[in-house]
């Protein structure tokens, strides 16, 4: 993986958090075990983190912990803690979905959590300039793979487009896949839109928390 890594002591320095907080958040599941990358260095063993992810997560925790308890944060930030069994009737009112997703709706009401996440993924694509017909592929794909949303898999939903130019006929075929970054495609295809499911899940949980 080509991700930039940051040593633990650098993380503490940059963010101003303490060892105590870091370990506490890890125990609570706010920082996934998978982000702790152990490496041997000249000065002995050291722990590194994927830079962008850890800094973003710590900022989230710090900005939210004023208003919410740690356990509430766990509900929002830990992928395992997905809300179960609830249904929501007005998905467009949630900020990660919004009015742009109007064309993506496929039923009147009673959307469950996975379906909301799917809509949010589609809505994000639409806001990114993807035509609704293609975004629909993304929505269909994500809503059938509910279990992925509940594990810290680091999987992205990717919308691609295959262009075929042969014998004067030129077609562009959109397709959606679930894949681990970095995604590679053949030379006739290109990636139109990538959506990090973990962050979409978080945003939906946050929005639901605000509604509730």
CB of 13 to other proteins, least distance (A): 8
Select 27 or 166, whichever has its Cβ closest to other proteins.
27
- Check binding of 18 to other proteins (CB under 8 A): yes
- Check binding of 127 to other proteins (CB under 8 A): no
Residue at token pair 């509430």: 72
The residue within the footprint of other proteins, chosen from 1, 4, 14, 23 (CB under 8 A), is 23
- Check binding of 13 to other proteins (CB under 8 A): yes
CB of 29 to other proteins, least distance (A): 10
- Check binding of 9 to other proteins (CB under 8 A): yes
Select 17 or 178, whichever has its Cβ closest to other proteins.
17
- Check binding of 106 to other proteins (CB under 8 A): no
Select 19 or 106, whichever has its Cβ closest to other proteins.
19
- Check binding of 44 to other proteins (CB under 8 A): yes
Q: Which residues contribute to the site for other proteins (CB under 8 A)? A: 8-9, 12-13, 18-24, 26-27, 43-45
């Amino acid at each position: 993986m080509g991700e930039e890594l940051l040593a633990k002591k650098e993380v503490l320095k940059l963010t101003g958090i303490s060892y105590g907080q870091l370990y506490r958040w890890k125990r609570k599941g706010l920082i996934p075990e998978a982000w702790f990358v152990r490496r041997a260095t000249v000065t002995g063993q050291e722990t590194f983190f994927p830079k962008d992810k850890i800094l973003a997560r710590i900022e989230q925790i710090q900005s939210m912990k004023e208003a919410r308890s740690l356990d509430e944060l766990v509900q929002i930030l830990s992928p395992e803690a997905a809300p179960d069994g609830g249904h929501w009737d007005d998905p467009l009112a949630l900020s990660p979905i919004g009015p742009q997703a109007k064309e993506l709706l496929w039923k009147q009401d009673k959307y469950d959590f996975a379906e909301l996440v799917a809509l949010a993924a589609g809505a994000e694509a639409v806001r990114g300039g993807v035509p609704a017909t293609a975004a629909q592929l993304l929505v269909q794909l994500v809503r059938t793979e509910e279990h992925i949303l509940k594990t810290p898999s680091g999987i992205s939903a990717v919308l691609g487009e295959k262009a075929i130019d042969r014998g004067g006929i030129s077609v562009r075929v959109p397709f959606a896949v679930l894949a681990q970054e970095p995604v590679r495609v053949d030379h006739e295809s290109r990636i139109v839109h990538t959506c990090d499911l973990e962050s979409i899940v978080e945003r939906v949980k946050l929005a639901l928390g605000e509604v509730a």
